[in-house]
Amino acid sequence: MGRSARGEFAYQTVYRYLETLIAQAEQGGDARLPSLRDLARRLRVSLATVQSAYSLLEDEGRVSSIPRSGYFVRLRSPAPTAWAAVSKVGGQSQPFSLAPLPSTRLERALLAQERRLVRQASTQPGQPRTAGPVLLRSVLAARYTPSSSGYWSAEDVHLATDVHALLQTLLAGLHLQDRTVVVATPCCWRVLQALHQAGMRVLEVSQDERGGLDLAKLERLFRREPVHLLLLPSCLGMPGGRLLTARDQQAVATLLAQYPTWLLENDLDSEHCFAPPPSLRLRDRVDPRRVLVLGSLEAVVGGEAPYAYVLGRHGRLREVFAQRGFVLPPLRQQAVAHLYSRGDIDTHLQYLRGALAARMAQLCKEVEAQLGAQLAFTRPEGGRALWCRLRYPMDMPRGLDALVGTALCMAPGEQFSLQGRYQQCLLLAWHGEHLPELREALRRLAQAFEPASKVR
């Protein structure tokens, strides 16, 4: 299959283009998508390439094909108000998202490794296409294995195109749809959205400003409700940016020992700790047969590897992921596996943690200087955004308008809860590089919040 100038497979280019059409349809545009022939002619690719992209989107449940009519966007039901747009670019509402990680060097290494594999494959045409997926799963299993008595195998690692598609498949495979899940909040909006769209009954347990869980409430929920799934941070709780304490881990493990509940550890952000993550996790304290670990290659490698994975020992997972048939480029998987095995990932993570810590220290300093009278926060222990508490009510829409055209993004706190909690909080993320621009954006935000402060 052909490759684009960016180094990605041709079907991925078509996939990305179709994603823009899907986004337009979800905002009120035409739900009908181009035919195979029209799109192949428009993008100058083969019919097989277009068919691969459409098949992938069909597998993900994002488009549907109607015989003799064509392909159409499957419009999803509206999500709760927590999913309202929280940033604006050029006057248009956009979903809140964090800036790409500073992983340019690693992405260059990934593409260089993939080119070497392409040249190698041309001289050794008999190499099986399954080498990449098997190697990557083996590398991830080894990385998560803490000891010879608690090891993971390649068969326990299941890959998908992204976090949302993975969670959909996982929940369906374990028959957890429409069941009860307890979630520690504030929580990543992508995960909450997937739970909501799966029809799950979501109960929330709040984390305090220092990352501690409301253990008393958690125990009451387990006694009162048939909890089928517990979702907790693996170690770093985002967006708060606080580490889950060993005391809380042990208390949760003691509670889980009394119930047949699945534990889903959210390991999406663990590598973004400013210091190396703790070696002992909650999963090491509970029955391994009930443990699921959610991770993402994008969180480490960057946008060139947007794939998600889950570790789980249940045989049903192997079956359901095989049936779903996610299409992941074998050479890209093999190249990522080589980066892990050669130590490139660990070298990059050491640099990344230092860069994130320095960036957050600067952001905290500037927010305290210009918004200290309006916002309170605890310096995080990891992550790329700052979780703040409002000292008094503020005009959030006016604040969002003030940040249009800047590299500073803001999200109302209620976006990180399906129950509309954290209205007294907000999240700030700096996407830029130049300190004067950050100071100007914060000055605008402080000025936009000023009228609210005068009516205290």
**Structural fold of domain 85-99+347-453:** Aspartate Aminotransferase, domain 1 (3.90.1150)
Confidence (pLDDT) at 9 = 56
Q: So what's the pLDDT on residue 454?
A: 53
For residue 40, the model assigns a pLDDT of 86
Q: Which of 29-38, 126-135, 321-330, 344-353 has the lowest mean pLDDT?
A: 126-135
Structure tokens at 453: 């402060």
- Residue-level pLDDT at 59: 63
Q: How confident is the model at residue 69 (pLDDT cuts 50, 70, 90)?
A: confident
**Where do you find CATH 1.10.10.10 in the chain?**
10-73
Mean pLDDT of 90-107: 52
Tell me what pLDDT residue 259 has. 95
The answer to whether residue 368 scores a pLDDT higher than 80 is yes
Of 43-52, 80-89, 212-221, 317-326, give the lowest mean pLDDT range: 80-89
Q: What is the pLDDT of residue 130?
A: 57
Stretch 346-362: mean pLDDT, rounded? 92
* More confident: 282 or 30: 282
Q: Which residue has the higher pLDDT, 83 or 333?
A: 333
Higher per-residue pLDDT: 98 or 344: 344
Arithmetic mean of pLDDT over the chain: 84
Which of the pair, 82 or 359, is modelled with greater confidence? 359
- Using pLDDT thresholds of 50, 70 and 90, give the confidence band for residue 22: confident
**In the predicted model, what is the mean pLDDT of residues 285-312?**
91
CATH 3.90.1150.10 range(s) for the chain read 85-99+347-453
Whole-number percent of the chain with pLDDT over 70: 86
Check whether 388 has a pLDDT greater than 50.
yes
Average pLDDT on 328-351 reads 91
pLDDT given for residue 19 in this prediction = 84
Q: Tell me where in the chain the CATH 3.40.640.10 domain(s) lie.
A: 109-342
Residue 79, pLDDT > 50, answer no
- Higher-pLDDT residue of 334 and 90 is 334
Q: Which CATH class is domain 10-73?
A: mainly alpha
Say whether pLDDT at 167 is over 60: yes
For residue 455, what pLDDT band results from cuts at 50, 70 and 90? very low
pLDDT of residue 127: 57
Reply yes or no on whether the pLDDT at 262 is more than 70.
yes
Highest mean pLDDT among 8-12, 97-101, 197-201, 362-366: 362-366
Higher pLDDT, 52 or 104: 52
- pTM score > 0.85 for this model? no
Q: Cβ–Cβ contacts within 10 Å for residue 378, how many?
A: 17
85 pLDDT exceeds 50? no
pLDDT value at position 26? Answer: 75
pLDDT band at 60 (very low <50, low <70, confident <90, very high): low
Encode pLDDT of 104-151 as tens digits: 678 888 888 888 888 887 776 655 555 778 999 999 999 998 765 578
What is the fold, at CATH topology level, of the domain defined by 109-342? Answer: Aspartate Aminotransferase; domain 2 (3.40.640)
For 195-221, write each residue's pLDDT tens digit.
988 889 999 998 877 778 899 999 999
Q: What is the pLDDT of residue 159?
A: 95
